[in-house]
Amino acid sequence: MKSKFRPGAKARRGFLAVTLALTLAGNSLYAGTVAWTGVTDATNWSKPGNWATNSTPGSTDDVVIDPAAAATAVLDISGLSSIGSLNIGSGSSLTINTGSSLNVGPSLAPAVLLNSGTINVSTGGQLTLDVSGTGVNNSAGTISVAGGGTLALTGPGAYSAGTTNLGSAASGATLQITGEVTLGSGSLNLSDSSANIITGATGLLTNDYAATISGAGNLNPASLTNNGLLSASGTNNSLVVSTLTNWDSASSTLTGGSYHASNVLQLSSIGAGTIRTLSLASVGVSAGGLISGDGSTNALSALTNISNSSLTLVDQPVFTITPTPVIPATVGTLSITADDNPNGGFASLALLSSGLTVAGNLSNSTVGVLNNVALIDLEAGSILTVTGDFSQTSHRSVTANVHNSTLHVTGDTTNTGSDIIIGSPNPTGPAAAAQFDGKFNNKDFAPTVGSSLFVELGSTATTKAFQNDFYSLVDLSGGSQLTTDAFNNNGTVTLCGCSVNQLTVANGDFTNEDGIVNLDAGNTLTVTNGDYIQSSGTGHSFTDVEGTLKAANVVLNGGVLVGLGTIDGNLVNNAVDNPGDPGTQTITGNYTQGLSGLLILDFAGLNPATQYDNLSIGGNVSLAGGLQVDLFNGFVPTLGQTFEILSWTGTLAGDFTSWNLPTFDGLTFTEIVESNRILLQVAASTATPEPSTFVLSFLTLLPAMLLGAAVRRRALAQNANRGL
């Protein structure tokens, strides 16, 4: 079974010697070259007539089995046959029958094996390779050892495994290790048999970066160092590793290598304990388990640190990690951390069709200044439950992806300089969901570096009180919903116009303290049991309503309100209201403008729907403060033309107390108040008293200052949150 968790291949410098030796293969290391011809009977190794020298090869000969000849040789003699080196061409094969043994490379002359064909070791047969010196290259060939057969490797040296198969489902084979042997590349495939064994009282086996050991059986040489992949890929039987040098019992740390358990992978050296830290390691569990030496304990059950490492769960419906608490903490934290190393750190937790409960806190972060990446990835209906707090900290290089899956955090969530994406990578795929039972803090990591919460493609998210910092972003798109209690915004909140999205504040106010809120057409922000309050902050608060803003009261105590959408409720203007596009701004309730309020209307023509700003009010009107009219797009009204700027269904109280009206061609505007509307009519300019120069200048410049600053900040904040 091919592993999904195969590590990246790395060339090993030690193989330069092997490559050089093979390049010089024409210069024999031994007495002579003996080529197979198969003239006599095409198969029998023991018949001299099958060899070009008319004699069977000896212990110092180079043996060549070439496909140009009848290239099928069978070693079928009782006892041991020794040769100096063996070169098998592509398409050729050698079979070592029962009771026969072939020793390639006697002790005084290290072996060279260049196999591009096939070597078969039958039941009771044995192939011995001396891998010291120039080593063994089987990279393009296959060695298959039948159940009951033996492959013996004698080091020190490297074995390029190519494809090496041990045993069958019915019976296991043996790999005998003597001395230090490095499995430099290729795959060592153990059959699905518990009888497979890798052994050697003095054997020190290293599974290098580009190599894989997979299947079932018992790995019990004197020591095993795993830098490549150990894969328990058998269907019915486990892969048991007795002595693993990657394991440090003192720190409960598994360092280096990749481990894939599609069946049970038992690390006996861990004893009955559990792994606390993964360091520079990759662990994948699919349908099996990573088991401690007692044969039953989940070796990851107390995992606390995933440091520059990855943990991937596939098809694990119920998996629980209870991270070990650090005294005096009452609960532990599972920390996913990527920190500086020469290649940039990477750490990840990935779930595919799996369910994981972290019985404690979960932290996902990067440390340092290099290109470090820390990732949580939920795919294909997975469920991640965190019974404590969830935190992410980074400089825009930490991401939690919830794709077609569910994230449930029972504590508080703090997202600092990072991204949380609730959605689907496939627009037609099922939606995702996130439930945050505690507070959600979308925090800035540093000046100009904020965090982002994206809810996309029909997905939903719920949380308690929400805090969105100055450079941080909340973005809803693709028909998604976010429901929260009180919401305090200093950053950017966007409901994209590509589809209908819904942001609901269920208990408390939505306070736009110093932030930007963009509601595109078709989108709705609803404050169910509170008000929408925009305060002055540093003077940059900004709300753009092209969709619907629904609240009992929308209160402007600072900043600017723009847009031609609907205010579903009462609007209290103590700041600046500038509908803007131009066109009609709809208010279903009352409109109240205080002394500090200013209404700015843009005129570019005579059509109230598309060419000049006006307010349609479904309740009462109470007026004070200023009115400003701006002409743009070269529009110059003519004498007698009228513009309905306010209409209402209730009553009118008060009037504007300051005016900033343009003059043009000796004309200006005069106010006409009727029972349910106010009009401005073009009339000859008079010397009507105007507000003081200071007040007029302030009222003239303030909207432009606020609106320009808000628009600029909206662009900067959105670009920063998207890494532009």
Q: Is 108 exposed, middle or buried (0-12, 13-18, 19+ CB in 10 A)?
A: exposed
Are 3 and 187 in contact by the 8 Å Cβ rule? The answer is no
Residue 18 sits at φ, ψ, to 5 deg, of -65, -45
Residue linked to tokens 């010291």: 132
Nearest to 720 by CA among 470, 478, 547: 470
Q: Name residue 576's beta-bridge partners.
A: 560, 598
Residues in the chain: 724
C-alpha 349/C-alpha 399 separation (Å) is: 11
Which residues pair with residue 672 across a beta bridge? 679
Q: Which residues of 127-143 are buried (b: 16+ CB within 10 A; e: fewer)?
A: bbbbbbbbbbbbbbbbb
Angle made by CA atoms 566, 570, 571, in degrees to the nearest 5? 75
- Rounded to 5 degrees, φ, ψ at 49 are -70, -15
DSSP code for 268: G
- Whole-number Cα distances in Å, 688 to 498, 661, 669, 692, 696: 49, 12, 11, 12, 14
Q: Look at residue 222 in the predicted model and tell me its pLDDT.
A: 94
Residues of the chain with pLDDT under 70: 1-31, 67-71, 77-78, 106-112, 133-135, 340-344, 369-370, 396, 427, 539, 687-724
Q: What is the pLDDT of residue 389?
A: 97
Q: Considering Cα of 11, then 13, then 17, then 23, what sign does the dihedral take?
A: positive
Q: Which long-range contacts (CB under 8 A, 24 or more apart) does 629-632 make?
A: 629/600, 629/601, 629/602, 629/603, 629/660, 629/661, 629/662, 629/669, 629/680, 630/600, 630/601, 630/602, 630/603, 630/662, 631/603, 631/604, 631/662, 631/664, 632/602, 632/603, 632/604
* 577/600 Cα distance (integer angstroms): 6
Q: Three-state DSSP class for 2? A: coil
Whether residue 325 contacts residue 361, with contact meaning beta carbons closer than 8 Å, is answered with no
| Contacts of residue 217, Cβ cutoff 8 Å, sequence gap at least 6 | 166, 167, 172, 190, 191, 193, 194, 195, 196, 197, 198, 237, 239, 240
The one-letter amino acid at 156: P
Locate 719 and state its tokens: 């670009």
Spatial separation of the C-alpha atoms in residues 640 and 551, rounded to whole Å: 39
Query: Tokens representing 557?
Result: 């105590």
CA-nearest of 436, 376, 15, 446 to 211 is 15
CB neighbour burial string for 612-650, b if at least 16 within 10 angstroms, e if fewer: bbbbbbbbbbbbbbbbbbbeeeeeebeeeeebbbbbbee
Amino acid in the structure at residue 618: G
Pairing of strands 112-115, 136-137: parallel
- Beta bridge pairs of residue 449: 446
Tokens of 540: 């940059």
| CA distances to 326, 390, 437 from 411, in Å | 18, 7, 6
pLDDT per position as a tens digit, 260-297 = 999 999 999 887 778 999 999 999 999 888 999 888 88
In the numeric block, the tokens 């009282």 are attached to: 201
Task: For strands 642-648 and 677-684, give the pairing.
Answer: antiparallel
Q: What is the rounded CA–CA span in Å between residue 559 and residue 472?
A: 19
pTM of the model as a whole? 0.85
